[in-house]
Amino acid sequence: MKQKFLRTVLAGAVVLGMLATTVQAAETIRLSTYVNQSDIRYEGFKKFAELSKQKSNGDLNVQIFPSATLHGWSEGVDAVQGGVSDISWIPADKRLECYRVTSLYPAAISLENQIELDAEYAELIRDEASKVGLVPLINSNYSYDQEWWFEEPIDNLDNLDGKLVRSIGPLVSNMIESWGGKPVFVAPKEVFQSAERGVVDGINMGVATYSSWKLWNVMPYMVNANLFYGNIMYMMNKDKFDSLSESNQSALMEAAKEAEIWLKPRYEDWVDQRVGNAVMKGNGAAVTVSQESRHAMIKKTQATWNTVVDNACGQPLAENIRALLAKHAN
């Protein structure tokens, strides 16, 4: 009887030990994003989390924190380095000199092979990211919907006549200034109040974010210009990534790519629907810059911006990035 009791106790201890091992094996990864839950890109992050769990056989548990709840717009690098989040969007941070001036670049590009374009760009800046403890993971391409918005119709985008326009980074500020405007930095969550109170006269922003924050009510006139290659990349803490097994590292990378492929058509359809709904139901208007004007504005910006890129990236890397964008030119 005593031996039977001991065997039962030991068997129970083994089961508990196995359960404890299983619990310990599940790695929680916190993903921070500025998009909110009504944004289709939030569904993309949910897909990434689902795929990560599947591909790692339950080892990886990605938790999503939307609406910039973990940190502000400009704090992505500090948040990831300091452990506030494990994966975050990375803005135009001065510690990433080349990424800062090329993640938003004046170019007329085709999005037909966008996934491949983004992957090649990520590889080009991987070494720079590694030096500050980051690993490029998710490409969040917003070339498709990065546009301009105003309270009232304007005749020419390249003649802003002193207007205060919200900028998202150094390139956009350069453009606004060259068009006679004044750039103003405003974080996404603060744009509605800034526009409503007249802090800015115009906004540079993606349609997806713009719609999610319901900004049609305050800036209803859109200028569709297609002037950029844009990729706000989500990067992971390198120490955290390196601590994972090789199989789980591969699971994360594969999940990221498959989530990008899954999201691309849904993202573009979602953007199109919101532009259409806003114009038809929201008393808005959308005008498109002509191809001739578009290429002229891009060429003018490139003439000065390429010097900035050369200085930040070094000549060889700068040329590689320009060659990549030229390969995907439209």
Question: Which sequence spans correspond to the domains of the chain?
Answer: 23-140+232-270, 146-229+282-327
Asked whether 219 and 284 are in contact (CB, 8 A), the reply is no
Note the pLDDT of residue 22.
Answer: 46
Hey, what CATH topology would domain 146-229+282-327 get?
D-Maltodextrin-Binding Protein; domain 2 (3.40.190)
Taking alpha carbons only, the member of 104, 105, 103, 72 closest to residue 88 is 72
259 Cβ partners below 8 Å, 6+ apart? Answer: 44, 45, 47, 48, 51, 138
Amino acid occupying residue 257? K
Which two tokens mark 105?
Answer: 């670049």
As a whole number of angstroms, the distance between CA 40 and CA 279 comes to: 20
Residue 247, both tokens: 């199989």
138 phi and psi angles, rounded to 5 deg = -120, 125
> Is the confidence at residue 102, as pLDDT, over 80?
yes
Are 81 and 132 a contacting pair, CB within 8 Å?
Answer: yes
**What would the two tokens of residue 279 be?**
């114009």
Q: Rounded distance, CA 220 to CA 192, Å?
A: 12
The rounded percent of the chain whose pLDDT value lies above 90 is 63
What CATH topology corresponds to 23-140+232-270?
D-Maltodextrin-Binding Protein; domain 2 (3.40.190)
Phi, psi at residue 166, to the nearest 5°?
Answer: -65, 130
The string of DSSP codes covering 198-255 is TS-SEEEEEHHHHHHTTGGGT--EEEE---EEEB--EEEEHHHHHHS-HHHHHHHHHH
Asked which of 97-101, 240-244, 301-305 is least confident by mean pLDDT, the reply is 301-305
Query: Is residue 193 within 8 Å of residue 166, measured between CB atoms?
Result: no
Arithmetic mean of pLDDT over the chain: 88
- Please state, in angstroms and rounded to a whole number, the distance separating the CA atoms of residues 325 and 226: 14
CB 323 within 8 A of CB 109: no
pLDDT single digits (tens) 117-151? 999 999 999 999 999 999 999 999 988 777 888 88
Contact 109, 325 (CB under 8 A): yes
Q: Which two tokens stand for residue 150?
A: 């105003």
Contact at 8 Å (CB) between 94 and 294?
no
Backbone angles phi, psi at 294, to 5 degrees: -60, -50
CB atoms within 10 A of CB 62: 22
Instruction: Note the pLDDT of residue 189.
Output: 73
The model's pLDDT over 218-234, given as tens digits with 9 standing for 90+, comes to 888 888 888 989 999 99
The model's pLDDT over 249-289, given as tens digits with 9 standing for 90+, comes to: 999 999 999 999 999 999 999 888 877 766 655 566 778 88
Question: 92 φ, ψ to 5°?
Answer: -75, 80
pLDDT given for residue 225 in this prediction: 87
Q: Do domains 23-140+232-270 and 146-229+282-327 have the same CATH topology?
A: yes
pLDDT over threshold 70, residue 294? yes
Q: Pull the structure tokens for residue 262.
A: 């899954």
Q: How far is CA 260 from CA 27, 135, 248, 280, in A?
A: 22, 17, 18, 30
Share of the chain above pLDDT 70, in %: 88
Distance (Å, whole) CA 167 – CA 110 = 24
Residue in the block written with tokens 């993971």: 137
